[in-house]
Structure 1
């Protein structure tokens, strides 16, 4: 094969090796995105099973009342809690953690789930229970005398009490009860985000 005039074999080799090294570096950098890319291609090729356009899940849109602690939180809040410094979760069916013991005795909430978080910043304990459908009205009349401020939230009642580093919330509506005690640790938007999971 005849050589083309003006070309240098050494320069061609150097350029070729440089190009190969660049491609290798780009491939190495792209490796972490390979699984996500393959999943995206597979999902795109398969398409929605029922012919409908699928939507990303929205916090609060789920099937039924939460039965596990991870279902009590949206994805973002769950990740935030889990990765907080020193965070340890202890799920149970313990009675609600609240200073409103007289209300608990009167309403006798049937505990479905209690999620207790202990972290370096403090503790957060939330109880999900079933109660009589008029529990919200009873709480609204009974709790202000114990330092709680109550307000209507759509078809439920939310009562909140703050005492230094302690924030207590009791929310009831539609036969469901959610009470939260935050001591020292106050995750952003915690009460609203949990309510969105229980009352979508």
Structure 2
């Protein structure tokens, strides 16, 4: 390296070593933030590109009734489910997961979408289907005998049953069916959030 006149090599070395030490100290201080930064970048890149579409049972929304699992959830709940530890979503058109098999046989819900989640905390399965418009009245009279507690909501009937770690919810109204089975995993506000996509109040 060519020397520049008027500069002291010793001072240059001292300054250079000082700069290297400063950079090393900054890198050492930044290390604890590295996992959080990587997680944040991954979450940002993997974020859904489309906003969940709220379903309108009357068909007024551009997207109509849900065709994909993300359309069954509000944005906050969708993100919470996706980023839960070990969460895996399996969409299908499987029959409703419920102990109320007699009601399913009687009403014969036409399954449009089943969203089954499995995570470290447990499992959650939700089925969206179409049924006869009088399904709510039938459910309200049939399910209490199976341990369900039923109540009338504005546009629907909601029946809920809890047995240990299992919580089941069946909602019907306006020709729509929504059933959820939660085993050990009970995401906060799940039932109300999903129902609001079908029956906005």
Q: TM-score, normalised by structure 1?
A: 0.70
- Alignment of 1:152 with 2:156, yes or no, is no
Local SS of the residue matching 2:70: helix
The 5-angstrom pairing of residues 95-134 of structure 1 reads: 95-134=95-134
- Alignment of 1:141 with 2:141, yes or no, is yes
Local SS of the residue matching 1:85: coil
- Alignment of 1:197 with 2:197, yes or no, is yes
The 5-angstrom pairing of residues 40-119 of structure 1 reads: 60=54, 63=61, 64-119=64-119
User: What is residue 182 of structure 1 aligned with on the other side?
Assistant: 182
Distance 1:176 1:133 in 2: 8
8 Å CA contact 1:60–1:199 kept in 2: the answer is: no
Residues 167, 133 of structure 1: alpha-carbon distance in 2 compared, 3 angstrom cutoff:
same
Local SS of the residue matching 2:85: coil
Distance 1:59 1:188 in 2: 20
Deviation at 1:61?
A: 6.9
Residues 180, 138 of structure 1: alpha-carbon distance in 2 compared, 3 angstrom cutoff:
same
Distance 2:70 2:54 in 1: 12
Distance 1:125 1:182 in 2: 7
Where structure 2 has 5 or more consecutive residues not aligned to the other structure, the ranges are 1-50
Residues 117, 132 of structure 1: alpha-carbon distance in 2 compared, 3 angstrom cutoff:
same
User: What is residue 18 of structure 1 aligned with on the other side?
Assistant: none
Alpha carbon RMSD of aligned pairs, Å? 1.6
**Residues matched between the structures, number:** 144
8 Å CA contact 2:69–2:115 kept in 1: the answer is: yes
Deviation at 1:176?
A: 0.2
Distance 2:65 2:75 in 1: 16
Deviation at 1:59?
A: 8.2
Q: Write the deviation string for residues 33-88 of structure 1: whole angstroms up to 9, x where unpaired.
A: xxxxxxxxxxxxxxxxxxxxxxxx89847622111000000010000000000000
Where structure 1 has 5 or more consecutive residues not aligned to the other structure, the ranges are 1-56
8 Å CA contact 1:162–1:168 kept in 2: the answer is: yes
Q: TM-score, normalised by structure 2?
A: 0.69
- Alignment of 1:173 with 2:173, yes or no, is yes
